[in-house]
């Protein structure tokens, strides 16, 4: 269940991203998309955690778009506090241009968040359209904005999509199960 914060505006929907603010993670694409979203909906806010070399650029995009007051900058968060941030959000967004199996994506799935991610190969292994989230064209801020608005306009479906996210994490991203399966492969090599 989503928690409220003092910063959250009444009735707003929260998008969450904790990717590093480096070029390869595309947070600038999310910033441009969020400006477009904010122009069309007063009820969507953004949480950005972390930081990085693109910090000034990302803040400039948001400031130029007039949406800084709708963004919560959480900074660096400890691992113990991170689940609270995931549980505050309605959806998780990863605009990454390159990635392997993203730990933050696995965390979002495990926390039961619908996930909106770029359509890079690694993400397509985990997120399935309208099942546990959505895919958008990598680098396309307009397409990401469309997908954010579409997700927020089907708020009644978000809990079921979130449950599907959780199930996919339990089935495929359980470290104990995966380690045991790997050990069984090694044992059978004898």
pLDDT the model gives residue 11: 58
| Domain span holding position 150 | 13-188
> Does residue 7 register a pLDDT over 50?
no
Asked whether residue 165 is assigned to any structural domain, the reply reads yes
Domain count across the chain: 1
List Cβ neighbours of 58 (8 Å cut-off, separation of 6 or more): 21, 27, 28, 31, 48
Asked whether residue 3 is assigned to any structural domain, the reply reads no
Question: Cβ distance 89 to 99 under 8 Å?
Answer: no
pLDDT band at 3 (very low <50, low <70, confident <90, very high): very low
Question: Cβ distance 21 to 52 under 8 Å?
Answer: yes
Asked whether residue 1 is assigned to any structural domain, the reply reads no
Asked whether residue 90 is assigned to any structural domain, the reply reads yes
Asked whether residue 5 is assigned to any structural domain, the reply reads no
Asked whether residue 73 is assigned to any structural domain, the reply reads yes
Q: What is the pLDDT of residues 135-153, one digit of tens each?
A: 999 999 999 999 999 999 9
Asked whether residue 2 is assigned to any structural domain, the reply reads no
C-alpha span between 109 and 113 (Å, rounded)? 6
CATH number at residue 36: 3.40.50.2000
C-alpha distances in angstroms, 167 versus 27, 81, 171?
27, 23, 6
- In the sheet with 13-17, reading across from the earlier edge strand, the strands are 71-75, 44-49, 13-17, 91-94, 115-118, 133-136
- Which helix (H) or strand (E) covers residue 186, if one does? helix 175-188
Top-confidence residue, 82 or 176:
82
Asked whether residue 125 is assigned to any structural domain, the reply reads yes
Q: What is the pLDDT of residues 21-60, one digit of tens each?
A: 999 999 999 999 999 999 999 999 999 999 999 999 999 9
Q: What is the pLDDT of residues 161-190, one digit of tens each?
A: 999 999 999 888 777 776 777 788 888 887
pLDDT the model gives residue 183: 83
- Which helix (H) or strand (E) covers residue 135, if one does? strand 133-136
């Amino acid at each position: 269940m989503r928690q409220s914060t003092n910063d959250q505006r009444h009735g707003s929907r929260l998008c969450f991203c904790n990717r590093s603010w480096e070029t390869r993670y595309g947070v600038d694409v999310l910033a441009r998309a969020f400006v477009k979203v904010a122009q069309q909906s007063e009820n969507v806010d953004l949480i950005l955690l972390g930081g990085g070399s693109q910090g000034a650029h990302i803040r400039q995009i948001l400031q130029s778009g007039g949406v800084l007051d709708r963004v919560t900058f959480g900074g660096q968060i400890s691992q113990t506090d991170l689940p609270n941030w995931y549980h505050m959000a309605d959806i998780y967004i990863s605009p990454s241009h390159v990635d392997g199996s993203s730990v933050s994506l696995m965390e979002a799935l495990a926390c039961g968040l619908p996930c909106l991610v770029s359509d890079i190969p690694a993400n397509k292994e985990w997120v399935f359209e309208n099942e546990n989230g959505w895919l958008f064209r990598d680098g396309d801020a307009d397409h990401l904005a469309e997908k954010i608005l579409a997700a927020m306009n089907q708020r009644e479906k978000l809990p079921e999509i979130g449950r599907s996210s959780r199930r996919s994490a339990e089935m495929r991203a359980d470290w104990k199960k995966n380690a045991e399966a790997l050990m069984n492969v090694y044992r059978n090599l004898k």
